[in-house]
């Protein structure tokens, strides 16, 4: 059975790029362009992993992460922060709030699927 990755990011071009990379390596990819939509899809789809951008309008990634971890339906889904914010304090803050990894953007295209595989292997 294919594993599903939900990508929550307000950049449609990046969503398409991540979709192409992960789909080529056997993942099913769901994409949302807002935190609100991402929460709904996460509750309904129950993906194996969520890649979550921090810098989004209306509801930022920190709020999305907080709501995911507060909801019994989504709290056990591993979330990896997927952001251009690379300060150590952001990484620590994310991990303290329940994220399982922090993938900086820009990312190395050839290593993204490997990173997702590693996260999923450790999340079991």
- Separation between Cα atoms, residue 62 and residue 57, nearest integer Å: 12
CATH H superfamily, domain 4-118: Response regulator (3.40.50.2300)
Given this model, what pLDDT does residue 21 score?
Answer: 95
pLDDT value, residue 124: 62
Give pTM, 2 decimals: 0.93
Question: Domains of the chain: which residue ranges?
Answer: 4-118
Please say if the pLDDT value at position 118 is more than 80.
yes
For residue 97 the two structure tokens come to 């709030």
68 has pLDDT over 80: yes
Instruction: Choose the weakest-confidence range: 10-14, 27-31, 89-93.
Output: 89-93
Euclidean distance between CA atoms 111 and 119, whole angstroms = 12
């Amino acid at each position: 059975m294919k594993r599903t990755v939900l990508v929550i990011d307000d950049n449609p071009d990046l969503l398409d790029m991540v979709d192409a990379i992960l789909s080529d390596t056997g993942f099913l990819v769901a994409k949302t362009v807002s935190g609100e939509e991402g929460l709904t899809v996460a509750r309904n789809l129950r993906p194996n992993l969520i890649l979550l951008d921090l810098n989004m309008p209306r509801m930022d990634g920190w709020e999305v992460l907080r709501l995911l971890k507060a909801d019994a339906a989504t709290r056990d889904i591993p979330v990896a922060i997927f952001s251009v914010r690379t300060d150590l304090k952001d990484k620590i803050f994310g991990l303290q709030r329940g994220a399982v990894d922090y993938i900086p953007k820009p990312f190395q295209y050839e290593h993204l699927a490997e990173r997702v595989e590693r996260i999923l292997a450790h999340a079991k």
